[in-house]
A and B are shown apart, each in its own frame.
Chain A
Amino acid sequence: MSTSQTINKTWLISQEALENWLDSLAKARSLIAPRDVDGVLLYRPVENSNQIKWGFTRPVLSAKEVFFPSTERLLKIEKTNQHVTLLETLPEGQTVIFGLRPCDARGLQALDALFIKHTPTDPYYARRRENTAIIGLACKEMGPTCFCTSVGGAPDDSDGMDVMLYETEDSYLVRAMTEKGLALIPQTEWPLTEEVPAPAKMDAPLYSLPQQNSWPAHFNANYWEHVSERCLSCRVCAYVCPTCRCFVIRDESLTAPGQFERIRCWDSCNGANYRRIAGGHRPRSEKGERLRNRFYCKFYYYAEQYDLGEETSACTGCGRCVDSCPVNIDITEVLTELGRLA
């Protein structure tokens, strides 16, 4: 990013200074950080730095839920005698996320392409993006199912962060990437440094994506039916994915009489009824058709529909779907197999 060039300042701070900083940030705004929730690692609000899980790998859910929550009230509807009032419910308050991994930051850029760059802009998502500062944390190495390097990312990629942290032996290098990030940093308290972060280990296997123009040819491949035979049609892959962004909107009544709300919730093209239309017809009634859609959306349609910049896919290589799929449908295996078909 161009702003990072102009700021170009790096500080060296200890673990203690980092914790003090996060504690002070948590006082003025809500702080979201990786947290151990009964043995499950999640991005969750924390009151202070003691509640943060340090030395974490990758939360089970992506940070998507901070900006695009699983359930969101779009508006409240109140009915009184002759009048129906619609009340706007835009998200309020400043937030800061600590410990965002580069794959999740890339995921946000894919979501931006849809929710912000593609008009009309989604006011709920846009407001959350605007009100949230992102403190990224570079991965020192790649996890066993990570493949960000195969889809154009890197474990120490600072793209999309407001502040980027790099772990060193016993301290952290802090880089301000944007003005928003710079504003969070107590510049007078921290010593500047010329030190340059050591590059992350990138020893994970590289998978080659099928050529962008080869996707249409695979549409009718028998492969989809074979690979989807064991698919359970659950929604894990979509819900853990940093870039799956389908939702469903419904008006529901609240318990108070005359009050209703319009809510938006996550949805997934893997669900059997996702494509059901009037008359009960389901154009994607077979599991293979649904699973195929997930891959086409991620690697073909998304870049066709939205402005992803240089990227050709909306996959960030976080590997969450690989870890969560109950029946081992492995995105890297599917891509490899498709490459073989071509």
Chain B
Amino acid sequence: MYEPKIVAFLCTWCSYTGADTAGIARLKSPANLRAIRVPCSGRVSSELVMRAFNQGADGVLVLGCHIGECHYDTGNHRAAKRIPTLKALMTFAGLEPERLHLDWVSASEGERFSRITTEFVNAVRSLGPISWRVAPERVLTLGRGLASAEPVPYLESDCAGKTDAIRAKAKELLASGEVSCVIGYEVGSRGRTHPAFIYHDNDVERLVWNPDCTHNLTTYLPDKVSVSGALMAAHRKSSPKPVAVVVKPCDARAVNVMLAENRFPREKVHVIGVTCEGVRTEDGNLQTRCMTCEERTPVVYDTLIGEAPATFVHHPSSIVAENITTLEAASPAERMEYWLSQFDRCIRCYACRQACPMCECPTCLFERDDSLWVGLGIGVNQKRTFHLGRAYHLAGRCVGCDQCEQACPMDIPISLLNQRLAQEIEKSFGHRAGMQAISSPVVTVLAGEYKEG
């Protein structure tokens, strides 16, 4: 008979002791549990759970102290926020939701420990062996592509006026010495628009505003504000000056998240906010993300360019929301098949991560030399771990600027994962990333002020 392998993370103060209590009382508990004693349920990171599944666990159980009884005051609050969010993500990626469970057991509740573990093991047993871990040699079937959006033509707007205003402001800021650099857009080879870095007021004519200003320039901000490079050093003289950046409304939300996370002090950045009618794809249609965008004026700015569009073009039947609904209506096996077929194309080039203004770790968790959380291989298991791990790290932080998907050479629908998590965070916590300079509710906040260098 099939017996599931269960990894149980037990908080040392309550649940582990609760397991002891069950044993002393000679209550029956299933032998399927591989108990791992952790100092607190708040210690159980998303990586630990994902690693357990990657290594072949059929189910993962996280048990901690009841809310209000945490020996570290709020450690279990973290678990209470983290595990359900992770569960939503992994369920969306094809895990049966019954396989991941969070519950509370106090030191005296031997009977409760016995009951919860028995119920969990029974539930997992009835699901049968897990199919999460994919055999490396498995040949992937082609995914059924999801629906793509009805194209919405991009409507011409006053780009010339905005270009002039951006140039004038940049000239003023650089001439007065208020900022050392203006990060904006310019038109480069083959008529393509790309990021531009302007250091002299006589170079401002390079700056443009047009419907192809798709990049989120805030990605460059932390480096430009804090560092180092010889170019910056040459232009900033002794005391580091602020940097100006041109932002669209979606990009402005990224500025707020960065401020909340102390990536740089507010006064070091001059935000040139530009009202936005959306940006377009190469085919000349509105980008998918712009169809449902609700912010036409940046949420944070020092200078505002343009007026909010009078005609608010809103396409409530977002293709992303529809696709999320379609996937959620499918069975876990179908969802898994869909995502594996998508991740299979990934080549781990990290363009998504590098383009993302929120991906900030000096060494990515998934690129460590010791293969701690994910192996080096460019196989489907590793790629799924990377993408789900990255999506989780963006929970409540992703502003939906879609740079990841724009940068992806393999058209992996990365933003679908991010949007699903954004939905979950909004539903559970009423939080929308970057609307104000407030940290994500599921991110562990490390207190401390920004320090130069």
Contact = CB atoms under 8 A, between A and B. Distances in A.
B329 interface: no
A71 B188 contact: no
Contacts of A45: 139
A230 B189 CA distance: 14
B411 A38 contact: yes
Nearest to B375: A252
B407 interface: yes
A239 B355 contact: no
A204 interface: no
A226 interface: yes
A233 B409 contact: no
B410 interface: yes
Given A236-B351, A255-B55, A40 B345 contact: yes
B197 to A, nearest CB: 5
Given A266-B347, A266-B378, A328-B189, A233 B411 contact: no
A327 B194 contact: yes
A252 B55 CA distance: 13
B363 A230 contact: no
Contacts of A266: 347-348, 378
Interface in B387-421: 403, 406-407, 409-411
Interface in A194-229: 225-226, 229
B131 to A, nearest CB: 15
Contact of B378 (A42, A225, A265): A265
B354 A286 contact: no
Contacts of A252: 371, 375-377
A70 interface: yes
Nearest to A271: B350
A38 B371 contact: no
A238 B378 CA distance: 15
Interface in A32-64: 37-40, 42, 45, 60-61
A40 B412 CA distance: 10
Contacts of A37: 142, 345
A328 B192 contact: yes
A41 to B, nearest CB: 10
Nearest to B404: A326
A239 B347 contact: yes
B342 interface: yes
A226 B206 CA distance: 14
Task: State the majority secondary structure of interface residues on B.
Answer: loop
Contact of B377 (A226, A236, A238, A263): A263
B356 to A, nearest CB: 9
Contact of B407 (A71, A145, A232, A248): A232
Interface residues of B, number: 47
B410 A60 contact: yes
A240 interface: yes
A294 to B, nearest CB: 14
B378 A60 contact: no
Given A38-B345, A232-B351, A234-B350, A328 B188 contact: yes
Interface string B187-220: 0111011111100000000000000000100011
Contacts of A39: 145, 411
B349 interface: yes
A239 B349 contact: yes
Interface string B267-308: 000000000000000000000000000000000000000000
Contacts of A94: none
B56 interface: yes
Interface in A272-323: 273, 286, 322
B371 A250 contact: yes
Given A39-B411, A42-B345, A333-B188, A234 B371 contact: no
Interface in A143-167: 145
B430 interface: no
A259 interface: no
A238 B354 CA distance: 15
Contacts of A330: 188-190, 192
Contacts of A235: 348-351
Contact of B219 (A70, A232, A238, A328): A232
A324 interface: yes
Interface in B18-73: 55-56
Contact of A234 (B55, B196, B229, B351): B351
B310 interface: no
A101 B431 CA distance: 50
A333 B189 contact: yes
Contacts of B190: 145, 322, 328, 330
A333 B354 CA distance: 23
Contacts of A226: 231
Interface of B: 55-56, 133, 139, 142-143, 145, 188-190, 192-197, 215, 219-220, 229-231, 341-342, 345, 347-351, 353-355, 363, 367, 371, 375-379, 403, 406-407, 409-411
In the A-B complex, list the 9 residue pairs whose CB atoms are closest, starting with the nearest. A326-B407, A232-B354, A328-B194, A70-B378, A234-B351, A234-B354, A333-B189, A330-B189, A230-B195
Interface of A: 37-40, 42, 45, 60-61, 70-71, 145, 225-226, 229-230, 232-236, 238-240, 248, 250, 252, 255, 263, 265-266, 268, 271, 273, 286, 322, 324, 326-328, 330, 332-333
21 contacts: A37-B142, A38-B142, A40-B345, A71-B378, A145-B190, A226-B231, A234-B349, A234-B350, A236-B351, A236-B407, A236-B409, A250-B375, A255-B133, A265-B348, A265-B377, A271-B350, A328-B194, A330-B188, A330-B192, A332-B189, A333-B189
Given A233-B354, A263-B377, A265-B348, 19 more contacts: A39-B411, A60-B410, A61-B347, A70-B347, A226-B231, A232-B219, A234-B350, A234-B351, A234-B355, A235-B351, A250-B371, A252-B376, A252-B377, A273-B363, A326-B403, A327-B194, A328-B192, A328-B193, A330-B189
